[in-house]
Structure 1
């Protein structure tokens, strides 16, 4: 499978010039790696960070809470490794997704047997005739669509599913070894195929060998795009755009953009791109560069006709990509956690989804959840980022979530009848921002957990989104 990356700028600045800006955030680790700029130094804690692969739960180090019984596990994941979602003009990269074979079986609603009319396989075709008859010249070469889950992305979620099985089935005996009652599990994804495929891969390893009959088919729920709540739905909630624009126009954010402007300009030139979406956020640059790096592809070069004949084209470098990562980390922390408007943005971006998770926990505590033990929610980095921000995650845990990153919420009932919530992120108990340690998330009393999260759950979403 494949990925890609790219960037550009119009002045020859050293590839590093680090961002950072005012925030009374963690002042701990990694100061020796901080870049020196005109912006106040920010304490990046990115030692050991890798974007291409997540941290998986570790069976050997996982320990159940003492004197307590596990009652419910909620897992929120980012999809696995994918192709880019930002396209560069005249991109000649070849992305192959030949191993991504979607077998489709259709049957009538009340048909008891598996469809006997045969299966169908999805094939993405990018014709080789390019400009002659169509628009293929506007896409890369190969067999991949935008943002398509790769084989490696599927493997990441098969691995995650196997790790979850080793803990919750083999070690704890909490989940059934063989899924006999579909009512034990609830699964929801966004409407985008890469999140559906990720969920299918994970569940396939959590409960393998289930067969094809309808009685063992796990329902995978989705909301229509127009009412999706697992990411910031700015079409349904216009206030998200307004708050984001106000953060972007703030002095702190503009100082950050000015400080890192030379790098952005140079990469934009190399990429051959322009437009507002490339001027006030590092999101596209991050996507282009990191996808390529994860697949070992060459970073983008400027091969335009304007290049000086006989000279080597200007190319993005590994140092550029590293700086773009740090710029992107900082942007996320500022927008969703540290800016004065961050709580408003986070509330409207992910608050409704937090309300869904809370309601599910409440239902379980009230004895109204039936057989439900395991809930899977397959989303995006834009799902996990505001969730982590709402919990005031530490600088290290607020770095851009790697592919297949996972937040696990465990509900435990102690012998005295009280309940606590444990929060794990990529296999470790979630650490909180220094100065904002509102609870020990290894065993947070459920009332304390709710009291904090309730700040981010909208009380009148329709009014708040149009205000």
Structure 2
């Protein structure tokens, strides 16, 4: 057995689900609001999985549990109709699906300042880079793809050997995406008849400007339509005014984030994790403020390693001084706590969501309102975004507890037309395949107008004034 195989086997044993938890319960740690959640080593990963081999697709064990490497999604083996339809209380037909998802798994954003002790290899992925014209009679370019290499005459080093850009979708991420799309087709195409057999004018796709979301879209939509030979538009806003992925400039975002990080609760979590941060910082040469002020960088680095078949990092000066699984688990719990605080429990959470994601939430509401008004020109919308977009949308919906929205996290807004006398349109919101549990109750079957009213307070009336 290779060194990598040994590391994976140890990781899988350490990251086994907490006994007694159902898959759905792994999404909602009851003590997540308390910093004791971070320091309680008996919690482990609270039933979550942070391990995957280099190649996929991953399936999770058991399927449906929180899986950082590839979150569960609607698939035919587990998908069930809303209870109201199953029990025959009403007749209903699915008439609209708004599907948001984070990109698939990738290499890390954050390379350790002291350098990485393992090489990342991406020769098995081809990021295509070319531009064509909107006419078959015009110039048709050669399909070019990026091939990363290092030249021995270059005196600068990237901090990690290998053939990846950082971040970059990995082979496992592409395979996960293809399976993700196949499962969506099986549920919303074959079973429910909403997604058409080939793309038409009633489907619409969007991504951020990131190659991660664009690459994920190509893999997922190929899974939806494996036989389709045409091209598809993937809509993107101009990056400087994009309403996802922190596109537009807004000084209020930074000001509010500074205020959030000055609260007693935030400072308590910094105190609780002081020893861990100091240990990791000295071991990995990661003692700067960007690595020590939050757990974003450590989490990202460790997650990307484990989710692509790599081992946790070791010191470059002492190869026997390595990050343990227990350290990584505490890092992941701290990351969960931070995300829950950002989007659920900080004192100014409503305004923070407004300035960060309110415009995008407004776009979702506009789509849903068009269905309610009977004026929608779309049946299926699929938007490829980032964890920083999924988190605030879940916060606006009032999720009971928010763990870090992991790779391929997804929110499905289903709209059903019914013969109910009280409301013609009902909605269901699935988060990674499960009806979303919120402070408003489980969003398994709510009048569409009520769902819109839940989200409306997070749409800013004047974002320009708020940002100024």
TM class by shorter-chain length? 0.7 to 0.9
* Alpha-carbon distance in 1 for matches of 2:348, 2:40: 20
Structure 2 residue ranges without an equivalent (≥5): 5-25, 49-65, 86-90
Among 382, 393, 399, the alignment partner of 1:387 is 393
Q: Distance in 1 between matches of 2:189 and 2:39?
A: 49
Q: Tell me, yes or no, if structure 1 residue 411 matches structure 2 residue 415.
A: yes
Q: Tell me the alpha carbon deviations over residues 349-401 of structure 1, each in whole angstroms, 9 at most, x when there is no partner.
A: 1111110011112223333332x211011011111111111112122xx1112
Partners of 1:406 and 1:340 in 2: CA distance: 26
Structure 2 match to 1:336: 343
Between 1:66-75 and 1:222-231, the stretch displaced more is 222-231
Find the residue that maps to 1:284 and give its secondary structure. helix
Question: What secondary structure does 1:139 align onto?
Answer: coil
Distance verdict in 2 for CA 1:37–1:342, change over 3 Å: closer
Q: Residue 90 in 1 paired to residue 106 in 2?
A: no
Alpha-carbon distance between aligned partners in 1 of 2:193 and 2:37, rounded to the nearest angstrom: 53
Aligned to 1:60: 77
For structure 1, which segment, 72-81 or 201-210, has the greater mean C-alpha deviation from structure 2 after superposition? 201-210
1:133 counterpart residue number: 154
1:11 alignment partner in structure 2 = none
SS at match of 1:121: coil
Call closer, same or farther: CA 1:35–1:275 in 2, change over 3 Å: closer
Could you say if the C-alpha distance between residues 42 and 299 of structure 1 is closer, same or farther in structure 2, counting changes exceeding 3 Å?
A: closer
8 Å CA contact retained: 2:299, 2:332: yes
Q: Is it true that 1:252 corresponds to 2:265 in the alignment?
A: yes
- Structure 2 residue corresponding to 1:420, chosen from 426, 431, 439: 426
RMSD of equivalent CA atoms: 2.8
Q: Secondary structure at the match of 2:453?
A: helix
Matched pairs, number:
415
CA distance change for structure 1 residues 268 and 75 in 2, over 3 Å: closer, same or farther?
same
Flag the 1:332–1:291 CA change in 2: closer, same or farther, 3 A: same
Which residue number in structure 1 is paired with residue 219 of structure 2? 201
1:419–1:42 CA distance, 2 compared to 1 (3 A): farther
Matching residue within 83, 100, 108 for 2:133: 108
The structure-2 alpha-carbon separation of the partners of 1:45 and 1:429, relative to structure 1 and needing over 3 Å to count, comes to farther
Cα gap change, 1:297 to 1:223, in 2 (>3 Å): same
- The gaps in structure 1 that reach 5 residues or longer are 4-25
Q: Would the aligned equivalents of 2:38 and 2:333 in 1 still touch at CA under 8 Å?
A: no
Residue 142 of structure 1: SS of its match in structure 2? coil
In structure 2, do the counterparts of structure 1 residues 331 and 125 end up closer, same or farther at CA, with 3 Å as the change threshold? same
Describe the SS at the equivalent of 1:423: strand
Structure 1 residues 453 and 43: alpha-carbon distance in aligned structure 2, compared to 1, 3 A threshold: farther
* SS at 1:410 equivalent: strand
Q: How does 1:221-370 map to 2 (within 5 A)?
A: 221-233=235-247, 236-304=249-317, 313-370=320-377
State the 1:39 CA deviation: 8.5
SS state at 1:343 partner: helix
Cross-structure match for 2:173: 153
8 A Cα contact 1:439 1:448, kept in partner: no
**Distance across 2 between alignment mates of 1:360 and 1:85:** 32
Using a 3 Å threshold, how does the CA distance of structure 1 residues 331 and 105 change in structure 2: closer, same or farther?
Answer: closer
SS in 2 for 1:361: helix
CA distance in 2, matches of 1:194, 1:364: 30
Q: Deviations over 1:20-78 (max 9, x none)?
A: xxxxxx9x8677xx996999999999334331121121313323342112111011000
CA distance in 2, matches of 1:171, 1:38: 42
Pair 1:319–1:366, CA change in 2 (3 A): same
Q: Is the 8 A contact 1:72 1:373 kept in 2?
A: yes
Counterpart Cα distance in 2 of 1:314 and 1:102: 35
- Give CA-to-partner distance per residue, 1:232-260, whole Å, 9 cap, x none: 44x61111111111110111110110111
The Cα of 1:95 is off from its aligned counterpart by: 0.9
